[in-house]
Amino acid sequence: MAQQKTVLVTGAANGIGRAIALKFARDGYKVGAYDIDVAALVKLLGEAGAGTEIVTGSMDVRNVDDWELSLEQLCGPDGTLDVLINNAGILHSGRFADISLADQTRTIEINVLGTMNGCHTAYPYLKRAGEAQVINLCSASAIYGQMDLAAYSASKFAVRGLTEALELEWQREGIKVNALWPLFVNTNMVEGMDIGTTRALGVRLTPDDVARAAFKVAQGGRGGVHRGVGVQARTMMASANPSGAGNRLVNKILGNR
């Protein structure tokens, strides 16, 4: 009998993270579901259904101590982690000068520092797994800087760069690193948002759409480092050619000199 695989999902209480946690749990994974919204995590446990295994806990992704405690809780002090999904994120929409600097700083801290913390602290667990996977939630906002989402867009450019660098660094250790690129998803994050791009493109994706894409990537589905979710994102990525094969090859060659 195959050994049960383990996945850690951040921002798992609601929206995309919740859908991802449920998808993996119902498909046989042991799931570590972490969030600052502990009450919603309790509801998640009730919805998962019989035969699922979900470990929950409070985590502020900006806090390295929270990461270390959560990983030890889920995997054991010398255990392994098969899949890390850095999903936790926030956004504030509107004109850059009208959004408080505190709110924009928090966006960078959660979206960027949270992802870096996860990759760094989970690395020993991923390495011990032999063949492991990191999936970072990126965004079509990382194709070109997006007005009315400046800090969010900047944060996703950082996630994109981190993903590309670690995909090259960690491949020799058997750790795959990918980024998912959805456009707007019908979650609380876009509730009440009224900016040019939402009016033009609409909100066409559901959390389950992203969860299915994440599961496909974790199963080794074909594709590059970056995976568009939905027709709109894939079309935009193809026209912009983010981190095409040529760029990746040049960086791989230079990095291994």
What amino acid positions are annotated as catalytic residues?
Answer: 152, 156
| Total Cβ atoms within 10 A of residue 50 | 4
Contacts of 49 (CB under 8 A, 6+ apart): 26
Is the CB of residue 9 less than 8 Å from the CB of residue 84? no
Q: Measuring CA to CA, which residue among 147, 188, 168 is closest to residue 19?
A: 188
Looking at residue 181, its amino acid is W
Contact 88, 110 (CB under 8 A): yes
Q: Is the separation of the CB atoms in 240 and 144 below 8 Å?
A: yes
Residue 89, helix vs strand vs coil: coil
* Among the listed residues 137, 139, 175, 141, the one whose alpha carbon sits nearest the alpha carbon of residue 61: 137
